[in-house]
Amino acid sequence: MQRFLFIYFCIILFWAPIPLGSHRIWSASLLELLIGLLFIFWLFTLNQNTLPKALINNKKMIALFAAIPLWSALQLIPLPPEIITLISPHHQNYIAANQWQPLSLETGATLYKLQKSIAYCLFFILSLAIINTPRRLNTIAQLIVITGVLQAVYGVLVVLGGPIFDIIGVAAAADRDRITSASGTFVNRNNFAGYLEMCIALGIGLLVNQILINKDKFAGVRAAIRNFLITMLSGKARLRVFLALMVVALVLSHSRGGNSAFYASLGVCAVLGLWLYRKHHKSKSLALLFGSLIAIDVLILSSWFGLDTLAKRLDSTNIAYEERSFVFENTLLAVKDFWLTGSGVGGFYSIFPSYRDNRSQSFYDFAHNDYLQLWIEYGLIGLSLFGLIVILSFIKALKAQQHRHTAILKGMGFAAMMAIISLMIHATTEFNFHIPANALLFTLICAIACIAADMEYQEHEPKKRRKHSVPSTKA
């Protein structure tokens, strides 16, 4: 039964990005159904007297994940007008006077988002329970890398080969005659870039694992070079090729926010990694790894596949005059009015027109800034819950690298750290957390950070007790 649950879990991860990032009502509902069924199957396998230790060790994280749908549900409960006026005075401009009303101004959208947040919470619990060995953790990371590679290959083929390769209908879904930027099976290239950022981070974490798992105990430059070359030229070299393919697709996405977030997180995590492993005997090998990633991915691959085009887009963009910056300003006005309790989860598209000025004429169903959208919809209460999840996950990732001795646990700690930093940077310009495939993968990343830090695993062989001879008592 445990094997069945793990295979089922892997199928969900593989499937999530395929139907347009699961960003359609039918695909999101199917994803929620699959997660719900898996959770029910898992419940039947539980021992009534004991819970998995991973769940016990991460009760705070589970509580935070559970608090998000709980707060969404509270936004749907009708309250007396006196209470609403007290905690959110600007609600009276949108509700009928002297009537009980919920905090959510768009109850249908809030209910829809509530279902999603419940699914993410259940998936977090399932991740902690099912990924219960280093081998399974390694398998999951490899699966995500393969999924990212398939997305990258598909995206590049559609861009270079034309509509004939667009078998999923991404161009039709995006109302475009031809796709000029790689977007995989996602409608939005920026969401595709966000997904690849996390996949690449897990791939780099696997490379860190390969460096650390090498049994070469010698220090020095020669040993570091030998260790690095063994990793790069061994049978695991295909992992390096996979990373290169995903980087090429990321550049071809022409996503300014996605590429900026990836390169920034790579640089920051390379520095953090070198500091964290400064006393490790593989520190020089890791330095060569991080240096090669920056040199090959940034300076060579990116230059060949259109980094200059991306750089021109960045240079030509004047943020002060870009329409999206006006959206940010208008959203901040809404945040000021609903800063504590929010206007209701999922209701950004309905409240934003009330604050939009003539500088932003397009229809916006997302704020293109996850922080602002979470704040306007969830309020400071909900935003704080998300913030605590991210902070605690990041601390867990650091803890795994500092205190664990198993290579895969350290490597996955590094992967989680890089993925979190990258998505947090990208969140300033996009809405990755509102795309089910990306939100689900980020949920897994948070779980991986917890698993890497707290997995119940015997990392050291117990020392054999010496047998002491018992003196004879015979006369």
> Closest Cα to residue 427, out of 371, 383, 378?
371
Q: What is the pLDDT of residue 230?
A: 60
Q: Any bridge partners for residue 34, and if so which? A: none
Task: Tell me the CA distances in angstroms from 467 to 461, 464, 470, 474, one per residue in order.
Answer: 18, 9, 9, 20
Please state, in angstroms and rounded to a whole number, the distance separating the CA atoms of residues 158 and 317. Answer: 26
Distance CA 204, CA 417 (A): 11
- Report the predicted TM-score, pTM, of the whole model to 2 decimal places: 0.90
Residue reference for tokens 């959770």: 39
pLDDT, tens only, 218-240:
455 565 565 555 655 555 678 88
Structure confidence at residue 324 (pLDDT): 74
Residue 466 exposed, middle or buried by CB count within 10 Å (0-12, 13-18, 19+):
exposed
Confidence at residue 325, expressed as pLDDT on a 0 to 100 scale? 79
Phi and psi (nearest 5°) for 101? -140, 150
Cα 88 from Cα 97, distance rounded (Å) = 14
- What 3-state DSSP class applies to 101? strand
What is the amino acid identity at position 14? F
Q: What is the pLDDT of residue 306?
A: 55
Which structure tokens are listed for 470?
Answer: 């018992």
Sign of the alpha-carbon torsion through 261, 264, 270, 273: negative
CA distance 173 to 186: 9
Query: What's the pLDDT score for residue 9?
Result: 98
pLDDT tens for 353-367 read 888 877 766 667 889
Residue of 210, 133, 201, 122 lying closest to 397 (CA atoms): 201
Residue carrying the six token digits 């078998």: 167
One-letter amino acid of 113: K
Interacting residues of 153 by C-beta distance below 8 A, sequence separation 6+: 245, 249
CB 345 within 8 A of CB 317: no
The whole-number pLDDT of residue 364 equals 79
Residue 17: per-residue pLDDT = 97
For residue 423, with 0-12 CB atoms within 10 Å meaning exposed, 13-18 middle and 19 or more buried, which class applies?
buried
Nearest CA to 430 out of 193, 144, 175 is that of 193
Sign of the CA dihedral running 51, 57, 61, 64: positive
Task: Tell me how far apart the terminal alpha carbons of the chain are, to the nearest angstrom.
Answer: 62
Closest CA to 297 of 312, 307, 308, 310: 307
Is there a contact between 347 and 109 (Cβ–Cβ < 8 Å)? yes
| Cα–Cα distance measured from residue 376 to residue 369, given in angstroms and rounded to the nearest whole number | 11
Segment-wise mean pLDDT, segments of 10 residues, the chain, 475 residues: 94 97 96 98 81 88 98 96 90 81 94 97 97 95 97 92 85 76 93 97 94 64 58 67 91 89 93 88 82 74 57 52 76 93 92 81 82 96 97 97 93 97 96 96 98 80 46 43
- Coil, strand, or helix at residue 459? coil
So what's the pLDDT on residue 227? 58
Give the ranges where 214-306 is alpha helix by DSSP (H): 221-233, 237-252, 256-276, 283-292, 302-304
Structure tokens belonging to residue 44: 């039947």
Phi, psi of 79 (to 5 degrees): -125, 155
Kindly give the interhelix angle for 59-74 and 436-454, rounded to the nearest 10 degrees.
150
Q: What is the per-residue pLDDT for 456?
A: 78
